[in-house]
Chain A
């Protein structure tokens, strides 16, 4: 018998007695106020992310400094120009020298301050981790109230890769000292900018 058949047979034979129906998950009331952008920003900041509002004044003011300091910018959005063309990348290793990557989020989640990307937004998945810093454009209309609402979205069922980022890469494996940039990006800044 193959391992597969053996495992399936054992699971059938060892099935516990009793009826265990799949429960219906109710829609819980979101634990956020009406101003989803405000809620999103506050929670993102608690998770180590930064928030900039590009809706008023000069849209890119909040990320100007970060961009100015960068030698290599890989942009996957039309709003910000980069100097590394992600569509020309053949191997993910090629983006290891990127200082700042710029990506648009599919949506944000107010409950946690998270943003979602799929391979469609990232173009090169690895750039969101190998870059030193990440700038994320988010349309305020794309902020969902909670995690539960996010998992009703179709992206999870059709993308080869979908990822929620909530702030930057972090670790506190040494004595609980919080450190950003454990392996992935050292900072994550969400710039609120309508599509």
Chain B
């Protein structure tokens, strides 16, 4: 069933015809049909061969507020990248729709997932203790980290005390939060990312731009360039199969020789002490099953009470993320293999504090599916790196300020608050309402530019006084000069740079009404008769 069958008003087709590839390299199935599972595109999307430098992310200047708009503008200045990015992520959103519409109980599943998370988060101390006890009983060594630095210190200590120098790992947003890779590199530990997208980003010394598809902002030409420089591949060969195979072949030796393996965690089950990971590549299973020492880094909000609850979350996760019914691998790590060590590090890093934020604690329900990013029209046109934060897109807007209020004070304004993010969220986080609420908090705590607040103050002063308001827009002959500036509250005229200005009408509705509907026009009196 396609989404077109389900939405009577959806027309098939792409809105950037220039990225529609002529050939199709995707795998075919046993019956010969084109496959589109995992994060595959439903139709071939390919950035044109024209060379275009990859736009880089937001400029980071200490704690100074991120200028997302500036970085987004540079992303838009690379139209081939932008079009491929937008089309590809929109395609994932459509795949998600088709998949969700195939499940009659979809909305009920979202409700359940949201309620299970709300329950767990409000009893998190108890469930964490239950998890710890179960894990210990399974022979796992459990560690607690108050923050990212604590996490890195604990892991480094585990590695050093066992003489481990090389660690292979699967993708983990938590370790991105902790700055894990950089910290380990500085301490002489070699870290190898084993997810293809994450590996591309590691080799390019760039952060992941998307929770699920870390290199989605890169074209195949960008990847070819990175791999040519770092893996020694043919710089002129940008065939996706060649590039992926090169990565496989060069990563495998690291997997075999690694002293330790690490994974993140999608779900941690309190009753059994199990860490669950969901991947398409099987790289978490390699990280967990090959080296003699395995470490699982777990954000404390990942806890769910029981195994049976996976029956809700697993059904939602990949369908929301990619439109696929399940990831290729759903892995449940509960105890060490014979003769090996298994460690679990429970990491807070701001989560317990966030739980105390009345309007924002439900953001802890997030299961990191990326659906809000795929659907976000601003994200798709800005690229994830424009947010200058570990978490980008809608979920980033409401989480990032909890890490650094000043630095990320601008992010909640990088949204039209259209609400699509809230509708696709599998755990029903009211994302766009939290964006609205963050703006209020940031204004109250003086984290918005004085210019912006000054403009709002002026607007409020005019709009609350009918006479002043009328004076500002009432005179028809001055409308062209005054109105646009007034209506868009804009001393900089950014409107007119990109769009034509609206025509100034001959008269306002107010003036028309006075002229046509009021028998005794009076400046301040309400009309007595509204008839013609």
A contacts B directly (C-beta below 8 A):
yes
The chain A residue sitting closest to B241, CB to CB, is A179
Given contacts A93-B290, A173-B214, A174-B243, contact A184 B329 (CB under 8 A): yes
Given A47-B324, A164-B330, A168-B328, the answer on whether A178 and B272 have CB atoms closer than 8 Å is no
Q: A11-B124, A166-B328 are in contact. Are A160 and B335 (CB under 8 A)?
A: yes
Which residues of chain A come closer than 8 Å to B138, judged between CB atoms?
160
Which residue of A23, A148, A169 is within 8 Å of B119 (Cβ)? A23
A177 touches B308 (CB 8 A): no
Residue on B nearest A18 in the bound complex, by CB: B122
Interface: A96 (CB within 8 A): yes
Q: Is B423 an interface residue (CB 8 A)?
A: no
A10 within 8 Å of B (CB atoms):
yes
Q: Which of B35, B122, B332 contacts A159 (CB 8 A)?
A: B332
A174 touches B244 (CB 8 A): yes
Interchain CA distance A169-B255 in the complex, whole Å: 16
Asked if A4 CB lies within 8 Å of chain B CBs, one says yes
Asked whether any CB of chain A lies closer than 8 Å to the CB of B315, the reply is yes
> CB < 8 Å: which of A7, A17, A22, A175 contacts B220?
A175
1/0 per position for B325-347, CB-CB distance to A under 8 A?
11111111111110000000010
Decide if B376 is an interface residue (CB 8 Å cutoff).
Answer: no
What chain A residues lie within 8 Å of B289 (beta carbons)? 92, 125-126, 129, 161
B118/A20 in contact, CB under 8 A: yes
Proximity string of chain A (1-28) to chain B, C-beta cutoff 8 Å, 1 when within and 0 when not: 0111011101111111110111101001
CB within 8 Å of A: which of B197-227? 197, 200, 213-216, 218-220, 223
CA distance A68 to B274 in the complex (A): 39
Q: Is A150's CB under 8 angstroms from B311's CB?
A: yes
Q: Indicate whether B150 reaches chain A with its CB closer than 8 angstroms.
A: yes
Q: How large is the interface on B (under 10, 10 to 19, 20 to 34, 35 or more residues)?
A: 35 or more
Contact status of A23 and B352, CB under 8 A, knowing A161-B333, A173-B197: no
The stretch that binds B, out of A69-77, A98-106, A111-119, is A111-119
Q: Which of B25-33, B395-403, B491-499 contacts A (4 or more CB under 8 A)?
A: B25-33
Contact A147 B326, beta carbon cutoff 8 Å: yes
Q: Is the CB of B309 within 8 A of A25?
A: yes
* A43, B324: Cα distance in complex, Å: 11
Interface presence of B47 (CB below 8 A): yes
| Contact between chains at A176 and B41 (CB < 8 Å) | yes
Whether B283 sits at the interface, judged by CB under 8 Å, is yes
Q: Judge if B194 is at the interface, Cβ distance under 8 Å.
A: yes
For residue B300, CB closer than 8 A to chain A, the reply is yes
A residues near B104, Cβ cutoff 8 Å: 31
Residue in B46, B195, B245 whose CB lies within 8 Å of A175: B46
Flag if B116 contacts A22 (CB, 8 Å). yes
Q: A20-B119, A23-B119, A93-B290 are in contact. Are A148 and B315 (CB under 8 A)?
A: yes
Please tell me which one of the listed residues B105, B216, B274, B280 contacts residue A28 in the complex, with CB atoms under 8 A apart: B105
Interface string of A154-171 (1 = CB under 8 A from B): 001101111111111111
A51 sits at the interface (CB 8 A): yes
User: Do B290 and A172 have beta carbons less than 8 Å apart?
Assistant: no
Instruction: Find out whether the CB atom of B122 lies under 8 angstroms from the CB atom of A16.
Output: yes
Chain B residues, CB < 8 A from A129 = 282, 285-286, 289-290
Chain A residues lying within 8 Å of B337, measured Cβ to Cβ, are 119, 125, 160-161
Tell which of B55-63, B174-182, B355-363 binds the partner.
Answer: B355-363
Report A157 CB to chain B, min CB distance, Å: 5
**Cβ of A160 and Cβ of B352 under 8 Å apart?**
no
Taking the closest CB of chain A, its distance from the CB of B141, in whole angstroms, is 13
For A18, A150, A166, A172, the residue with the greatest tally of chain B CB atoms inside 10 Å of its CB is: A172
Q: Tell me how far the C-beta of A182 lies from the nearest C-beta in chain B, rounded to whole angstroms.
A: 4
A111 near B290: Cβ-Cβ < 8 Å: no
Q: Which residues of chain A have C-beta atoms less than 8 A from B329's C-beta?
A: 163-166, 169, 184
The reply to whether A46 and B37 form a contact with Cβ atoms under 8 Å apart is: yes
19 A-B pairs in the complex with CB atoms less than 8 angstroms apart: A10-B352, A16-B361, A23-B116, A93-B256, A93-B257, A125-B289, A156-B332, A161-B337, A166-B328, A169-B281, A171-B38, A172-B39, A173-B200, A173-B213, A175-B41, A182-B280, A182-B283, A183-B194, A183-B282
State the A residues within 8 Å of B (CB).
Answer: 2-4, 6-8, 10-18, 20-23, 25, 28, 31, 43, 45-51, 91-93, 96, 111-114, 119, 125-126, 128-130, 147-152, 156-157, 159-185
Give the 9 A-B CB pairs with smallest separation, nearest first. Answer: A184-B282, A176-B41, A14-B356, A178-B40, A160-B335, A10-B352, A173-B197, A148-B311, A182-B281
